[in-house]
């Protein structure tokens, strides 16, 4: 569904040049439910805007399905947005019109494309748990309900790819869990590929795969979920420190003198601050906390 190779995005003004993405590599398979995490300024929102057709890439490769977003024309870009991609903003006011009902909000993008399907709009609102609220105006809905309307709107054009920018950032934990449950249901039942951008590491326990971005690159971290995830989002593996669950793999950059950059959350989970023990067994390099040396090895990374 998504293939980025050496993706570069540079923002230029008269006296300033900011490199937001500096050679990013990313592949997302069709039908995946995955998250992209990173601190503010890491480039994750720039990546989402590029995939959504809101920002033009500066260099490299970025393909979504059959579309080449580096070479796409303005006319093709309109078609891409209408037919391939759906977008959910953290600030749902960007998705919603307050003077319309929930149902009318979902139908609005259909009206713009000239293909209104009221039954499908109703079905979308049922999928997000708003069957009894579809005729309510937006001011009659809670923040969590409004965010679920925004999810329904993002699916109104039957997209193959759904992009969500901090979709749980402004709701409480219970509503966040409900929204993630909706994403998993939609991913499983209609097969839409879902990419969620967030800074919340706890999402690692609720999606199939997490890719971390640091300084506009994905090659510094790659966290892979344990495959034993349940269809309801539950996991058969007990959680460990800092919201990390199951078995994780991390691909790290090795520089010219052999230095590694280990993901900070892995070091924190092991209690490693400024010194670590490193062992080589002929096949693997094993890093552990010095205080754990001589233990049963269960806390090794």
Please compute the mean of the pLDDT values over residues 224-233 and round it to a whole number: 42
Closest listed residue to residue 291, CA positions, set 266, 265, 272, 267: 272
Q: What is the pLDDT of residues 69-121, one digit of tens each?
A: 999 999 999 999 988 999 988 776 667 888 899 999 999 988 877 788 999 99
Q: What is the pLDDT of residues 170-201, one digit of tens each?
A: 777 888 888 888 999 889 988 999 999 887 77
In the predicted structure, residue 241 carries a pLDDT above the cut 50: no
Dump the DSSP string for the chain.
Answer: -EEEEEEEEEEE-SS-EEEEEEEEEEEE-TT-EEEEE--TTSSHHHHHHHHTTSS---EEEEEETTEETTT--HHHHHHHHHHTEEEE-SSGGGT--TTSBHHHHHHHHHHHHT---HHHHHHHHHHTT-GGGTTSBGGGS-HHHHHHHHHHHHTTT--SEEEEESTTTTS-HHHHHHHHHHHHHHHHHH--EEEEEES-GGGGGTSSEEEE-BTTBSTT--EE--TTB-TTS-BSS-B-GGG-BS-------B-TT--B---HHHHHHHT-SS--EEEE-SS-EEEE-GGGTTS-STT--
Domain definitions of the chain by residue range: 29-55+84-243
Please compute the mean of the pLDDT values over residues 215-221 and round it to a whole number: 53
Domain 29-55+84-243 -> CATH class: alpha beta
- Dihedral of CA 49/79/112/104: which sign? negative
pLDDT of residue 256: 57
pLDDT of residue 301: 46
| Dist CA 81 CA 116 (whole Å) | 17
Contacts with 126 (C-beta within 8 Å, 6 or more apart), sequence order: none
Q: What is the pLDDT of residues 120-164, one digit of tens each?
A: 999 999 999 999 999 999 889 888 899 899 999 999 989 999 999
Closest listed residue to residue 160, CA positions, set 231, 58, 86, 78: 86
Q: What is the pLDDT of residues 245-287, one digit of tens each?
A: 444 555 555 555 676 767 676 778 788 887 888 888 888 888 8
Name the residue with higher pLDDT: 65 or 256.
65
């Amino acid at each position: 569904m998504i293939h980025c190779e050496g993706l570069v995005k540079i923002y230029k003004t008269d006296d300033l040049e900011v490199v937001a993405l500096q050679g990013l590599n990313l592949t997302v398979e069709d039908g995946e439910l995955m998250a992209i995490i990173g601190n503010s300024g890491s480039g994750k929102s720039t990546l989402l805007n590029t995939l959504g057709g809101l920002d033009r890439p500066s260099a490299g490769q970025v393909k979504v399905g059959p579309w080449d977003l580096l070479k796409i024309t303005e006319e093709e870009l309109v078609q891409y947005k209408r037919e391939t991609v759906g977008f959910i903003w953290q600030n749902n006011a960007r998705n919603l019109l307050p003077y319309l009902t929930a149902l009318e909000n979902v139908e609005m993008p259909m009206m713009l494309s000239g293909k209104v399907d009221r039954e499908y709009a109703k079905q979308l609102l049922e999928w997000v748990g708003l069957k009894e609220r579809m005729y309510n105006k937006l001011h009659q809905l809670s923040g969590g309900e409004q965010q679920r309307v925004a999810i329904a709107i993002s699916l109104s054009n039957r997209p193959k790819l759904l992009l969500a920018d901090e979709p749980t950032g402004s709701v409480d934990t219970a509503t966040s869990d409900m929204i993630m449950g909706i994403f998993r249901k939609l991913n499983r039942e209609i097969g839409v590929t879902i990419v969620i951008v967030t800074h919340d590491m706890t999402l690692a326990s609720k999606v199939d795969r997490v890719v971390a971005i640091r300084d506009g690159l994905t090659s510094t971290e790659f966290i892979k979920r344990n495959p034993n995830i349940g269809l309801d989002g539950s996991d058969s593996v007990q959680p460990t420190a800092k919201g990390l669950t199951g078995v994780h793999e991390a691909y790290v950059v090795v520089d010219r003198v052999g230095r590694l950059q280990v993901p900070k959350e892995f070091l924190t989970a092991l209690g490693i601050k400024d010194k670590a023990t490193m062992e080589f067994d002929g096949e693997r390099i094993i890093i552990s906390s010095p205080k754990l040396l001589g233990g049963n090895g269960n806390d090794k990374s």
